[in-house]
Amino acid sequence: MAMNKIIHFLSVFCFIALIAASCETEPILELSQTSFFFSDQGSSQTISFSSNKDWSASVSGGTWCTISPATGSSDVKSITVSVTANDTYDDRSATVTIKAGDLTKVITINQPKNKAIILLKKAENLSSDSHTLEIEFKTNVDFEIIIPESAKSWVSYYDTKALRTEKLLLNIAANKSNKARSTEIYIKDKTTSLRDTLAISQDEQNAYWVKEMGTLGAILNQTQKDTISRMIIKGEINKADFDVLKNQMPKLIYLDLKDVKCENDEVPYEAFGNKDVVSNLTLQKIILPESITKIGAFAFAECFGLKDSLILPSRLTTIGDYAFSACRGLIGPLILPSEITTIGNRAFSRCSGFTGELKLPSKLTTVGIEAFRYCSGFTGPIEIPSEKITFGNNSFIGCVGFSSLILPSGITTIGDGLFSGCSGLTGSLDLPSGLTKIGSATFSGCVGFTGNLVLPPNLITIDNFAFNGCTGFTGSLNIPSKVTKIGVYAFKGCTGFTGSLNLPSELTTIGSGAFSSCAGFTVLNLPSELTTIESGAFSECTGFSGNLILPPGLITIGVNTFNNCTGFTGTLNIPVGVTIIEEFAFNGCTGFTGTLNLPSGVTRIGRRAFYGCNGFTGTLNLPSELITIEENAFEGCTELTGLTIGNKLVSIGQAAFLLCRNISGDVIFPMSLNSIKPLAFFFSHKASAYRFPHKVPIPYENGMLSISVPIQVPFSAVSTYKSTQGWKDRNIVGY
């Protein structure tokens, strides 16, 4: 019985052990799929699996494929596979191996090749001739050629077997038009959107490529040089190439340089022009290079044949001296690019065909001498954009079309002749308050102004000819207080002024002809500090009236100073500092009345100094220091009733007192007198006698003394006079 229990126990134990052994876990490693595909662009994918054991993973086949993580427990049942973009032109694969216990699974990773169409040259620029264009490219796909409908008339494709893998041939027809053309050709994968693009451009006819500067002469044969009239140049050129165009191509009338690169980005000195002689007369149209920044001196000077508009490139900064001087055929507006800083001397002188407004760029710093001289076609306002611009003399001389003038508020100086002859300017001229100087001839000949001339309070200098011939101004003229000198002919011919001429108290000098022919003024008040009135200062100012009061410090009364100023009245007192009364000083001043008072210091009275001053009355007392009376000095002073001569007088000029018919009493000549010219006292027949102290007669001149008036000489000299030629025929009496 006991033995049976033992056997039964052992049997049960073995059964339990067997059951326990049979219950130990079997290893598991299962995959849903064993092959994965990735695009050629690369990506990452998560691969899941089943396992009840710790596991590990590895990858082989290249660094382009990586995994994460590389190990894990039974709790982690996936890995991430990352694949980079395939930049090769072949398919590629890798394997991922996963191990769990004794089990192993292999996963295949596949990635296709990168499809490619690669043009080795993506653009072709062709001459106007026909071409067979061989295009090299690389590809790993079946391709097709796409030519746009608009280009099929001049681009076609040779489809040959040899060309399908490495090359294709395009047939390019000749361009016989005067317009360049371009298109894009596409080489495309037949099954996808993959493609590459070839850009083709073809020049218009008459286009010539210069690939190396200085070689244009070698590119053209002699027949071409002799016959070409229309030419388009591309590439790069220099002075040597311009010399070919200028000197070796006599029939060239049209030249397009738009796409040319010039040496130093400059159209060179005398490109087509000439400094000394008339230049190219054949060239009618030029299109300047877009890339240039400078047009050299004399580049197109005297090129009379240039016609049509002038289009200046946008990058241009400098226009050299005489660059377009005398290009009279250019027409239309002159548009100066915004980058312009310098316009040289006479750059556009005598370009009379320009029309429209002239707008000066804000970056402009220099405008040369006579830069726009006689450009008479401009219209509209002329605006100076900045006071920082330096203008050469006469920059706009003769530009008669401008309608108005706009000056910057900060300007202090207006240069010589800047607007001389700009006769189209109209309206009042109100000059900026900060202006201190108006240069020589600045507004000379600007006859269109109307209204007032407002001179700024800070003005110091009014230079020679500043407003000469500006006939349109009206109203009074007020010269600012800081002005001490008025230049030569500064206001000559300004006939529109009316009312007073108000001169500043500190004025010391009035230049020659300063107000000559200003016929509208009515009142003249000369300042007390005035010392010099130069020749012709008020000549022909016929509107003045009232007394002429000459300031006490006056020293010089110049030639023609008050010539024909007929309106003055009253007596005329010459200040004591005056030593010479120049010729024509008061010629034709018919309105003076009363006595003429000459100071003792006067030594010479010039020719026609008081000619026609027929209002003077009473005795004329000539100064004791007077030496010379020149011809016609007092001719026509018909109301003088007496004459007193100082003891230093040497000569009396021809007709000096002609027609002074009312001089009466004895006319006594000094011993110093040695000459009386013909007609000096002709018609002075009311004199009682002409008395000479000379014992030896002075030379006798025909008509020098009125015939009816007796001649008194010392008793001891009577016989001498009566025996001397000329004198002997006169009534000689002794005293």
Question: What CATH number should be reported for the domain whose range is 117-202?
Answer: 2.60.40.10
Work out whether strand 497-502 and strand 475-478 pair parallel, antiparallel, or are unpaired.
parallel
- The parts of the chain modelled with pLDDT lower than 50 are 1-3, 5-7, 12-23, 160-164
Task: Say how far apart CA 457 and CA 629 lie, in whole Å.
Answer: 44
Instruction: Assign domain 569-705 to its CATH superfamily.
Output: Ribonuclease Inhibitor (3.80.10.10)
Whole-angstrom Cα distance, residue 477 to residue 542? Answer: 16
Give me the amino acid identity at 411: I
Determine the distance from the C-alpha atom of residue 348 to the mean position of all C-alpha atoms in its chain, rounded to a whole number.
Answer: 9
Phi and psi torsions of 186, nearest 5°: -110, 130
Q: What is the 3-state secondary structure (H, E, C) of 498-541?
A: EEEEECCCCCCEECCCCCCCCCCEEEEECCCCCCEECCCCCCCC
Instruction: Reply yes or no on domain 29-111 having CATH 3.40.50.880.
Output: no
Answer whether 29's CB lies under 8 Å from 74's CB: no
Distance CA 326, CA 328 (A): 5
| 8 A C-beta contact, residue 579 and residue 556 | no
Three-state SS at 155: strand
Structure tokens at 285: 């149209």
How deeply is 495 buried, as exposed, middle or buried, from its count of CB atoms within 10 A (0-12, 13-18, 19+)?
buried
* C-alpha span between 264 and 239 (Å, rounded): 10
Q: Is 397 exposed, middle or buried (0-12, 13-18, 19+ CB in 10 A)?
A: buried
pLDDT in tens, 643-652: 999 999 999 9
Provide the pLDDT for residue 167.
75
pLDDT of residue 164: 43
Is-contact 543 521, C-beta < 8 A?
A: yes
Backbone angles phi, psi at 517, to 5 degrees: 65, 20
| Rounded-to-integer distance, Cα 584 and Cα 582, Å | 6
Domain ranges in the chain are 29-111, 117-202, 412-568, 569-705
d(CA 443, CA 439): 9
Q: What is the pLDDT of residue 132?
A: 84
HEC states along 91-153? CEEEEEEEEECCEEEEEEEEECCCCCEEECCCEEEECCCCEEEEEEEEECCCEEEECCHHHCC
Kind of pairing between the strands at 103-111 and 143-146: unpaired
Q: Check residue 439 and give its pLDDT.
A: 94
- Residue environment code for 674-710, b if the CB has 16+ CB neighbours within 10 A, otherwise e: eebbebbbbbbeebebbbbbbeebbebeebbbbeebe
Length in residues, the chain: 735
Question: pLDDT tens for residues 348-397?
Answer: 999 999 999 999 999 999 999 999 999 988 998 999 999 999 999 999 99
User: Cα Rg for the chain, rounded, in angstroms?
Assistant: 53
CATH architecture of 412-568: Alpha-Beta Horseshoe (3.80)
Q: Examine domains 412-568 and 569-705 and report if their fold is the same.
A: yes
Strand order in the sheet with 378-383: 356-359, 378-383, 404-406
Task: List the strands of the sheet with 342-343, edge to edge.
Answer: 266-267, 294-295, 318-319, 342-343, 366-367, 390-391
Output the pLDDT for position 8: 52
Q: Which residues contact 345 (CB under 8 A, 6 or more apart)?
A: 321, 322, 368, 369, 370, 371, 392
Question: What gap in Å lies between CA 319 and CA 372, rounded to an integer?
Answer: 12
| Secondary structure class of 351 (helix, strand, coil) | coil
